[in-house]
Amino acid sequence: MIDRIVQLLKSARYAMALTGAGISTESGIPDYRSKGTGLWEKVNPAEMASISYMLSNPKEFFEFNITQWSKYADAEPNVTHRVIAAMEKAGYLRGIITQNIDNLHYKAGSKNLFEVHGHLRTAHCMNCAKKYEFDELVNQFSKGINPPRCTCGGLIRPDVVLFGDPMSGDFYRALEQVQKCDLLIIAGSSLQVYPVAEIPLYCEKFIIINREPTPFDERAEVVIHDTAGKVFESIAEKLDIYY
């Protein structure tokens, strides 16, 4: 199956990657739906990670979410992030679409990156739109200031897409790019969160690398149910690229 993936990559005119939370578990970040460890097994995401909950219960919203998000700050890219960045640099991938907000593709050096659910590098005031580094939220929270406030008194929120938010500009830019795509490598995504889960339908062919089955497995050219790190390490070896 690795040989088939490499063959498809070498013959593709415009290959891209789509990644989800499953690729970051090897960096110590739990995913959302894995049995026994998935974050969404314990809480209702449509409530705890929603714009309506942030506005109606800001203290509880930040208590839950900043505790989770601050864990991402020290996480480092793993083999999957590094191989994907190296594949882009070598010309095998034209761009990376990610559902993840953990900054790990960014840290790994991916350039043509579409963070469709936003990221945890910046934040902004909902009142005056003043921009902040994400660290400002963590610093205020650690000092007991909850919810985090702007100098104008407005609420500071992270630049991530919450449930109930409109999709980011990156999502629409990714849709434009993927219209050209003849091969999409999907890694670590359950393909259950819409509208991102529709992206494979825009591509001629796609490959799925995910530990659990997805609703799109039957349509894929290749399906591997395994950890992403192991698979991408093998792909890098076959492509003879350094990561």
Q: List pLDDT tens digits, range 155-183.
A: 999 999 999 999 999 999 999 999 999 99
Least confident of 24-33, 76-85, 123-132, 165-174: 24-33
Q: Give the domain CATH number at 129.
A: 3.30.1600.10
Do residues 232 and 80 lie in contact, with contact meaning Cβ atoms separated by under 8 Å? yes
Order of strands across the sheet with 206-209? 113-115, 95-98, 15-19, 183-187, 206-209, 222-224
Q: How many domains does the chain have?
A: 2
**Same domain? 104 vs 149:** no
pLDDT the model gives residue 72: 86
Report how far residue 95's alpha carbon sits from residue 103's, in angstroms, rounded to the nearest whole number: 15
pLDDT the model gives residue 71: 81
Q: Among the three residues 160, 186, 220, which one is the final residue of a domain in this structure?
A: 160
The pLDDT of 114-122, averaged and rounded, is: 96
User: Is 128 marked as binding a ligand?
Assistant: yes
Q: Among the three residues 160, 187, 216, which one is the final residue of a domain in this structure?
A: 160
The pLDDT of 21-50, averaged and rounded, is: 73
**Same domain? 227 vs 142:** no
CA distances from 172 to 33, 100, 169, 179 (A): 25, 16, 5, 11
**Same domain? 179 vs 95:** yes
pLDDT the model gives residue 39: 59
**Same domain? 141 vs 58:** yes
Return the residue matching tokens 């005031």.
125
pLDDT the model gives residue 46: 65
pLDDT the model gives residue 26: 93
**Same domain? 180 vs 217:** yes
| pLDDT at 32 > cutoff 80 | no
What are the two backbone dihedrals, phi and then psi, of residue 15, each rounded to the nearest 5 degrees? -95, 145
Q: Give the domain CATH number at 204.
A: 3.40.50.1220
Decide if 124 is catalytic: no
**Same domain? 20 vs 69:** no
pLDDT the model gives residue 215: 95
**Same domain? 133 vs 17:** no
CB atoms inside a 10 Å sphere around CB 59: 9
**Same domain? 131 vs 235:** no
CB atoms inside a 10 Å sphere around CB 67: 10
**Same domain? 130 vs 206:** no
Closest CA to 87 of 166, 19, 161, 1: 19
**Same domain? 56 vs 129:** yes
Closest CA to 168 of 119, 201, 126: 119
pLDDT the model gives residue 183: 97
**pLDDT band, very low/low/confident/very high, at 193 (cuts 50, 70, 90):** confident
**Same domain? 225 vs 243:** yes
Question: H or E element: which one contains 7?
Answer: helix 2-11
**Same domain? 223 vs 129:** no
**pLDDT band, very low/low/confident/very high, at 145 (cuts 50, 70, 90):** very high
User: Is 203 marked as binding a ligand?
Assistant: no
Catalytic one of 81, 105, 117, 119: 117
Q: What share of the chain is helix, strand, coil (3-state, %, to 5)?
A: 40, 20, 40
User: Is 152 marked as binding a ligand?
Assistant: yes
Question: The domain containing residue 45 runs over which residues?
Answer: 30-74+121-160
User: Is 150 marked as binding a ligand?
Assistant: yes
Digit-coded pLDDT (tens) for 148-157:
999 999 999 9
